[in-house]
Amino acid sequence: MNETAKLIPAPKVKNSLDRLKENIGKFIKGKDEVIDKVIICLVASGHILIEDLPGLGKTTLAYCLARSIDCEFTRIQFTSDLLPTDVIGVSIYDDSIKEFVFKRGPLFTNILLADEINRTTPKTQSALLEVMDRAKVSVEGQTYSIAHPFMVFATQNPVDYEGTFPLPESQMDRFLMRLQMGYPSFDKELEVMNSGFLKYDSIQTDPVITRSEILEMQNFVHQIFVEESILNYILKIVTATREVKELRAGVSTRGALSLKIAAQAAALVDGRSFVVPEDVLKVALPTLSHRLGLIRQTSDLLEERRITDGILENILEEIPMPT
């Protein structure tokens, strides 16, 4: 193991992130695995897409995350008539100084909830491409930086196709992970029923981690040690997806790098300064499955997702983990 990795205070980081998980878990019942993946995305400076039915806590999860780390939270309800300027901002002529002034849009935040992102047109969807890739926005020849940390927390309904515009592959590739909330267990849902209905913006919670601590953790991730055999394991998984005849294309190099950074973040969240094969296995499915598409597309998105997930699961079973 390299010397840099030994200097990372991984146990201290784990204690801080455990407090974060516990705080979010007070409001999101019975979804520890989903919360864990969201925190991995946060630590890895990644963006997340949650596909699921309305009313399962997607908005509440994003809000609790932002409030738990003392960050600014903005929600944009994506609709068919939303324009790129409604997201990014617009230049307005200021008569007092006789020149145009850029008025920043809701995109300039820390945690951006892009609610029902597939209900807006491809033109408006493309407004997020640059900022998701570089955390910067270019407007009329000027480049504006977004404050860190920055995460796009997007939601979409995988069932309702009426009035929706599927996300292009270039945009899907910019999400580090795609997750599902799923229904809570009977006992956990009973807890929610007993606590009463609570709107997400009426939740009262104090930050348990500062913004500077999150930024420090995001810097630590790149120092997490990845042994050569782990890199080979990641690349074997990615290469195998490129050899499946049912898929239009395999995972890109961006996807391979995403799997590496997600595994590094998983190791740090678990309190380690080095990656083990189980870290790769833990994040492989949510990190890679949305980057795959079938040659013979189906009108049922859920069915297509089940097929691609099954292909990826077979790959993960067939490739032996390094020892």
- What integer pLDDT is reported at residue 122 of this predicted model? 86
pLDDT at 288: 95
Residue (of 271, 310, 268, 319) closest to 288 by Cα position: 310
**b (16+ CB within 10 A) / e for 267-292:** bbbbebbbbbbebbbbbbbbbbbbbb
Bridge partner list, 155: 50
Furthest-apart CA atoms within the chain: distance in Å:
69
Name the residue range of residue 236's domain: 3-318
Q: Looking at residue 315, what is its pLDDT?
A: 95
CATH number at residue 37: 3.40.50.300
**pLDDT tens digits in sequence order for the chain, 323 residues long:** 555 555 668 788 889 999 999 999 888 888 889 999 999 999 999 999 998 777 777 888 888 888 898 888 899 999 989 999 999 998 888 888 878 888 999 999 999 999 989 888 888 888 898 899 888 988 877 888 998 999 999 988 765 556 677 788 888 889 999 998 878 788 877 877 777 656 666 677 888 999 999 999 999 999 999 999 999 999 999 999 999 888 888 899 999 999 999 999 999 999 999 999 999 999 999 999 999 888 876 666 777 788 889 999 999 999 999 98
Closest CA to 10 of 304, 320, 275, 305: 275
CB atoms within 10 A of CB 124: 23
How much is the pLDDT for 306?
86
Burial of 130 (0-12, 13-18, 19+ CB in 10 A): middle
**How far is Cα 151 from Cα 268, in angstroms, rounded to an integer?**
19
State the Rg of the chain over Cα: 20
Unique residue bearing structure tokens 């493309």: 126
- Give the per-residue pLDDT at 6: 54
Is residue 152 a contact partner of residue 128, using CB atoms and an 8 Å limit? yes
The reply to whether 87 falls in a domain is: yes
Q: Which of 37, 77, 41 lies closest to 174 in space, CA to CA?
A: 41
Q: Give backbone dihedrals phi and psi of 161, rounded to 5 degrees, phi first.
A: -95, -15
Q: What's the token pair of residue 151?
A: 């995460």
The structural domain count of the chain equals: 1
* Residue 157 within any structural domain of the chain: yes
Residue 19 is predicted with a pLDDT of 93
Q: Residue 323: inside a domain, yes or no?
A: no
Distance (Å, rounded) from C-alpha 62 to C-alpha 85? 23
Residue 78 lies in a domain: yes
- Calculate the CA 106 to chain-centre distance: 18
